[in-house]
Structure 1
Amino acid sequence: MTVLSTLKRHFQRKLKSLSGLPLQYTAQTVLTKQWQKRKTLNRRCHNLAGELIVNLTSYPPRFNTLHLTLKSLLLQYVTADKVVLWLYKPDYQQLPADVLALEQQGLTIKLVEQDIKSYKKLIPALQHYPDAYHVTADDDIYYRNDWLAELLAGYRGDEREIVCLRAHYITLDSEGNLLPYRFWQAKTEQRGPDNRLFFTSGAGALFPPGALHTDVTNAEKFCRLSPHGDDIWLYWMATLNGCAIHRTGSNKKLIVWKSSKGVTLWQLNKQPDSGNDFQIKNMVDKYGQPSFY
């Protein structure tokens, strides 16, 4: 990569970050007004061949702002057949009333017996609804009304295809081996299809039925190999299954609720003995490096 292209990429990232700053401070106000007018929104159904389910998980330190994220998912211009919040069963008792009230507005809450951390946002969904089209979301993000429409607009109808709104681009050394995670192109503008696009599922990713390798729901393996890196695990399950990966949309700035609490995966994945590079090495040792094309 040339110095000029690197500078251009950094400039594009900075420009999009700056353009999203006003919404960072007004998102809750905007959301409140939209929620009050939800019955008058002009909404439409998706045109997928099967059921469309938006999935996320959460845990008590994030419950304070969880209702905001859920409302933004329920206000999408393109409606999903289900919006499912997957929770570890003991955490259910701590759910605030403003989240429970959303069950009357279209939210589905499902409880799981095993606390598999961030994996709860997709693994139980794949097990309960194997024939559905699954979209992933995080619990601390404000999703603009056109988020789901933008994601679905990039889907070309192939079941061996994963579409994402945000990705990092994997970089290689001169011999074609993976460079450390910190050297990857963060928030790339590359679109693909290209299996060097490492999707970030919380920003929004679409998984058609059967897109992922059959090992995807093997809790013993993912808890051992990539315990804090569900995106790493899902990426390997996609490439093992020969999925095309491409990024769609305009790479908008993620709007994260400032008051959400708890240890983030970003913090955990910086640790040398448990972080991204450690987990990636585990995946390479077990499944091999993906064949890039």
Structure 2
Amino acid sequence: MSFSQYLRYRWLRKLKSLQGKALKKRAPSIVEQTWSSEYVTNPHRLSQSLMINLTSFPKRYKHLHLTLKSLLMQNMRADQVNLWLYKDDIAQLPESVKELTQHGLKLHSLAHDTRSYKKLIPALSNYPDAYHVTADDDIYYRPNWLETLVNELQPKQQEILFWRAHRVTRYANGTPKPYRKWEPKTEHRGPSNDLFFTSGGGVIFPPSSLEPTVTDIDLAQQLAPYADDLWWYVMARLNNTSLRRVGDNPALINWPDSREGSLWQFNKQEAIGNDAQLTKLTDYFELKL
């Protein structure tokens, strides 16, 4: 990246951050006001089912209904919004979430708590032929979020699309730099194998876009117990699937006080974080990044 490109990148990130802060204050009222009005959602034209998947746990239940409402009110309607929960956590669900089962939400009870892997592995196992989209439980999703992912898909192209990614940066000899030195929230669109997508920002996985080993939960937890995004990324790379960023790369809008229990800070610690887990993955699968 040249110096002028760097300055533009920093300027864009600052601008989008400011826009995000302004929206963050209004997002809860936007969701509730829209929910109370007559909103319109349009069907998709995909050949298979379209599903949104997310997981949660009790410490994050306070704002969960807001996230779910923002997903249920997308301009483009998913066939199903799946909330995958550990069986012992379902009893603590607030009524504000339970009542959404009357509006398209489907609750799934899981026998084992596999942390963030609950988001996608059960969905891939139970609905292997669907288009799966990932979301997080603490984010406001703008109305065009799903529509953008679906409409950007290229016919007959094996690709995974996403709203948000970090770009792998490299030393002069081509080897990847440590995770903390990657380009965060990159403006690069790709397609590129160096685009490390983040599932919470929104990722669409078409059928067969990930290596079949992706559903091996025991192996996933052995190699990357705290970094499910690394697991999805490596499964995409092993499958030779094209990676491309879409949308205008807006700032993520998290609900206030919703980051409790986040793995972000944990994974920035090299010894037990993303670098160590990525090394385990690439060594095991003999994958050259």
TM-score over 0.5 for the alignment?
Answer: yes
Matched ranges for 1:192-271 at <5 A = 192-271=190-269
Matched ranges for 1:76-225 at <5 A = 76-158=74-156, 160-225=158-223
CA contact (8 A) 1:159 1:210 kept: no
Task: Quote the offset at 1:159 in angstroms.
Answer: 5.8
Task: Quote the offset at 1:157 in angstroms.
Answer: 2.6
148-157 or 165-174, which moves further after superposition? 148-157
2:108 partner SS? strand
**Match of 1:9?**
9
The whole-number CA distance in structure 2 between the counterparts of 1:209 and 1:275 is 30
2:166 partner SS? strand
CA contact (8 A) 2:162 2:204 kept: yes
RMSD: 1.2
Task: Quote the offset at 1:290 in angstroms.
Answer: 3.8
CA contact (8 A) 1:159 1:209 kept: no
The whole-number CA distance in structure 2 between the counterparts of 1:259 and 1:167 is 23
Which among 46, 49, 56 is matched to residue 48 of structure 1? 46
103-112 or 265-274, which moves further after superposition? 265-274
2:272 partner SS? coil
1:142 partner SS? coil
The whole-number CA distance in structure 2 between the counterparts of 1:10 and 1:259 is 26
Q: Which amino acid aligns with 2:13?
A: R
CA contact (8 A) 1:123 1:216 kept: yes
Task: Quote the offset at 1:4 in angstroms.
Answer: 2.0
The whole-number CA distance in structure 2 between the counterparts of 1:288 and 1:12 is 37
Task: Quote the offset at 1:278 in angstroms.
Answer: 1.0
**Match of 1:31?**
31
Structure 1 gap ranges (5+):
none
2:52 partner SS? strand
Task: Quote the offset at 1:150 in angstroms.
Answer: 1.6
CA contact (8 A) 2:180 2:268 kept: no
CA contact (8 A) 2:192 2:242 kept: yes
Length-normalised TM-score, structure 2: 0.97
Task: Quote the offset at 1:34 in angstroms.
Answer: 0.3
Per-residue CA shift, 1:223-274, capped at 9, x if unaligned?
Answer: 0111111110000000100000000100011100013252202022122332
CA contact (8 A) 2:86 2:111 kept: yes
Structure 2 gap ranges (5+):
none
The whole-number CA distance in structure 2 between the counterparts of 1:224 and 1:158 is 34
The whole-number CA distance in structure 2 between the counterparts of 1:158 and 1:276 is 33
Q: Which runs of 4 or more aligned residues in structure 1 lie more than 6 Å from their structure 2 counterparts after TM superposition? A: none
Task: Quote the offset at 1:288 in angstroms.
Answer: 2.9
Per-residue CA shift, 1:193-243, capped at 9, x if unaligned?
Answer: 111111111100000011100110111211011111111000000010000
CA contact (8 A) 1:57 1:121 kept: yes
The whole-number CA distance in structure 2 between the counterparts of 1:216 and 1:43 is 32
CA contact (8 A) 1:193 1:245 kept: yes
CA contact (8 A) 1:50 1:131 kept: yes
Length-normalised TM-score, structure 1: 0.96
The whole-number CA distance in structure 2 between the counterparts of 1:141 and 1:20 is 12
Task: Quote the offset at 1:132 in angstroms.
Answer: 0.2
1:255 partner SS? coil
The whole-number CA distance in structure 1 between the counterparts of 2:83 and 2:70 is 13
Per-residue CA shift, 1:42-90, capped at 9, x if unaligned?
Answer: 3211111100000000001001111110011001010000000000111
Q: Name the CA shift for 1:17/1:158 in 2 (closer, same or farther; >3 Å).
A: farther
CA contact (8 A) 1:166 1:188 kept: yes
Q: Which amino acid aligns with 1:8?
A: R
Task: Quote the offset at 1:94 in angstroms.
Answer: 0.8
Q: Which amino acid aligns with 1:12?
A: L
**Match of 1:20?**
20
2:91 partner SS? helix
CA contact (8 A) 1:240 1:290 kept: no
CA contact (8 A) 2:238 2:287 kept: no
Q: Name the CA shift for 1:261/1:185 in 2 (closer, same or farther; >3 Å).
A: closer
CA contact (8 A) 2:198 2:229 kept: yes
The whole-number CA distance in structure 2 between the counterparts of 1:74 and 1:43 is 9
